[in-house]
Structure 1
Amino acid sequence: MVAAALELFDAQGFDQTSVDQIAQAAGISRSTFFRQFGGKDDVVFADHELLLDELRVFLAQGHSDPWSAVCEASVQVFTHFAADPELARRRYAVVRQVPALREREIVTVFRYERLFDEYLREALPGIDPLDAVGFAALVTAIHNHVLRQLLRGTKKVPVTVLRAALDDALRRFGVDGAATREPSADDVVVAVFPRTMPTAEMARRVRERLDG
């Protein structure tokens, strides 16, 4: 149904396409359309609603490294759209042409950022809110930058491009896995962290080592 709707939007315009036309192209009834979608704009963003639900489940599973979990969630979103780049590009073209859809896209992007922010605050009690919102915004911005490379071009953009950029973000933020040295087994434990690492993450790693 989404593919049929986007094809019609792209061919004859969003405002010029009726729900009846979408339903007919998808081989469903008008009532079925409204049971699954509230309106035409909901069809355009249907994937995002499913993805947000999937990410909530993924993040709720519990992860030893919350920072990397946020990055992995971003990768999952990119992988979904990269699996069918032509459909993703058609959606992008339709959104660019309709101001109301562009505004909803901005809100949708913020929902991902807010999800990551709230997850970090819950997974890392005591984290500075600026660290949580800053990292969430950074990951979201990097994801959108790489995704736009896919949407605006004609070639595939491998997920490794996004992973490399996110790994760099982890290093810049001081929370990459290689940022710490192994503590000694003596009575005195010396832990070395990057100056940029958030206090909550330092505490988590020290506690993890001591408990181990």
Structure 2
Amino acid sequence: MAPSDPASLSSADVTATAIHLLAQQGYDSTSVDELADVLDVSRSTFFRRFGTKEEIVFADHTYLLERLGGVLADSEGDAFDAVNKACLTVIRYHVSRPEATLERRALLRSNPSLRERELVMAHRYERIFRAHLNAHLVDDESRGWMPSAYAAASVAVHNDALRTWFAEQKTDAVKHLQGELGDLADSFRRRVTAGAEVPARAGSRVVVAAFESDAAAETVLASIRRALDG
């Protein structure tokens, strides 16, 4: 059913309506005119308000990315806590609207070009987290590698928790992610105390760990622990 007053609906409502139609009919089989009809707007209004057909698939990400700046700025605790809070904000949003989240996942899995765009969106989260960490880790050396490593690892751990929820919606995804991110932050805090890096042992080195985007959280954390403890 088309929303009677789309201007009064939240971004999440509009996205859910569009995703439902795209998931039912298929991305390539659904025209912009059909999307405009289900949203009860004209074709020109659709392009003006929502952009392309592809953009509306990722409107949730756009909405979340716009919110995260405030979440990071308002977070109590250290820079790692702030990034963790942002990740928890994202997963709460997704699991609070399970039907739309699951339909969107099915849509992405059926379309390779959409899956590629999803990877681009993941990098946008990493950039926001990295910028926050760069600004709040006071030691110059820790800013050299920690922001990039923690940003990438936190996104990977978030995605692993979401995949766990996809497999079993009864899972408490927020609690699961909170625990994993807590372990991740503790691993990094071993190198940082009160905003200053703990003195390194003689002959120590920086290790950059690379891992697949679908790596399990346990694999990511074990790799980082080995790097930090080595």
| Deviation at residue 86 of structure 1 after TM alignment | 1.4
Q: Is 2:76 the partner of 1:82?
A: no
Residue of structure 1 equivalent to 2:63: 50
Deviation string 1:61-110 (CA, Å, 9 cap, x unpaired) is 47441110110010000000010111101001101111111111000001
| 1: CA distance, partners of 2:107 / 2:170 | 19
The one-letter code sitting in structure 1 at the alignment partner of 2:100 is L
Name the CA shift for 1:200/1:106 in 2 (closer, same or farther; >3 Å): farther
1:162 alignment partner AA: L
Alignment match, 2:196: 202
C-alpha contact 1:82 1:157 (8 A) present in aligned 2: no
Deviation, structure 1 residue 203: 5.7
Q: Which letter does structure 2 place at the counterpart of 1:93?
A: A
Gaps of 5+ in 1: 176-195, 205-212
- The one-letter code of the counterpart of 2:26 is G
Post-superposition Cα deviations, 1:7-65, rounded to whole Å, max 9, x if no partner, equal 22212210110011111112222122111121111111001111111101222347441
State the partner residue of 1:143. 158
2:64–2:90 Cα contact (<8 Å) kept: yes
Question: Is residue 170 of structure 1 aligned with residue 164 of structure 2?
Answer: no
Identity fraction in percent: 38
Cα separation, partners in 2 of 1:128 and 1:2, compared to 1, 3 Å: closer
Retained in 1: the 8 A contact 2:75–2:81? no
CA RMSD of aligned residues (A): 2.0
Indicate if the aligned counterparts of 1:142 and 1:166 stay in contact, CA closer than 8 A.
yes
Report the structure number with the largest CA radius of gyration: 1
Is it true that 1:36 corresponds to 2:49 in the alignment?
yes
